[in-house]
Amino acid sequence: MNQREHGPSLEPGRAFRLDGETALITGGGSGIGLGIARGMAGAGAKVVLVGRRKEQLAEACASLGPAAAYVPHDITRLKTAGGLVRAAEVAACAPVSILVNNAGIHFKRPAAETTVDEFQSMLNTHVLAAHALCQAVIPGMVSRRHGSILFISSMAAFMGVPHVLAYAAAKSAYFGMVATLSAELSAHGVRVNAVAPGWIHSEMSQKALAGDPARQARVLARIQMGRLGEPDDIGCAAVYLCSPAARYVTGVTLPVDGGATV
């Protein structure tokens, strides 16, 4: 067998490490994004957090230690994606080898009441911004024959959730993006995957469930494990998918939802 047919053995104890990697994480200042940053920094990667709130990013970086940096940026400014990647590489003093498309927005509205502008805003943030960032990092990853792109999808892409039509459409788009990008890039040493979180303890979920014990009971009843997940649960899944342990995994969407979509 040649090298393409048979990869080298993994070094014991190093399979889940990210030493030498630099991860650009959008929406990294809080919630799931910060959980991913914690996991990756803990596994040895440099992390560059991206978001619109400078103070929040600075606080998050302080909690992560010297392996973290941040770049305040609005990812919906699509034409500036290349500049963001260059700024992240300057901040980390290393090329971006992991891109985590995590930043997003969310709102609940019946489908018949969702406006075209609201739908477009959702697609701009989740789909077009992710595409722009992929365009910006792919040439460098391909030239180095090394890289990992990770999309943060949602259980809403797997099952019908009322009043989130635009959000579900945007997150469902990641299925096609992951499949197509993995088909284009796998032969060039770049893997592309996604994580689909379920109900996770976050500012967003707290707002959704606060003051509504009946809804909280319905949510918990749907989760086979009977509890909400933590941002670090998504962080661990992200570390796995971007680590050597998943070197033969590409084009997949991994649900991390306590069994909610089963």
Q: Are the beta carbons of 98 and 23 closer than 8 angstroms?
A: yes
Pick the closest to residue 96 from 149, 43, 53, 60 (CA basis). 149
Q: In angstroms, rounded to a whole number, what is the distance separating the alpha carbons of residues 182 and 191?
A: 6
Q: Are the beta carbons of 161 and 109 closer than 8 angstroms?
A: no
Q: In angstroms, rounded to a whole number, what is the distance separating the alpha carbons of residues 81 and 156?
A: 27
Q: In angstroms, rounded to a whole number, what is the distance separating the alpha carbons of residues 152 and 246?
A: 17
Q: In angstroms, rounded to a whole number, what is the distance separating the alpha carbons of residues 125 and 130?
A: 8
Tokens of 40: 């990756």
Q: Among this protein's residues, is 167 annotated catalytic?
A: yes
Identity of the amino acid at 189: G
Q: Dump the DSSP string for 128-169.
A: IHHHHHHHHHHHHHHHHT-EEEEEE--GGGTS--TTBHHHHH
Catalytic residue among 70, 167, 174, 240: 167
Q: Could you say which DSSP state residue 52 is in? A: S
Q: Are the beta carbons of 23 and 97 closer than 8 angstroms?
A: yes
Q: Are the beta carbons of 111 and 134 closer than 8 angstroms?
A: no
Pick the closest to residue 105 from 34, 158, 38, 31 (CA basis). 31
Q: In angstroms, rounded to a whole number, what is the distance separating the alpha carbons of residues 67 and 65?
A: 6
User: Catalytic amino acids?
Assistant: 167
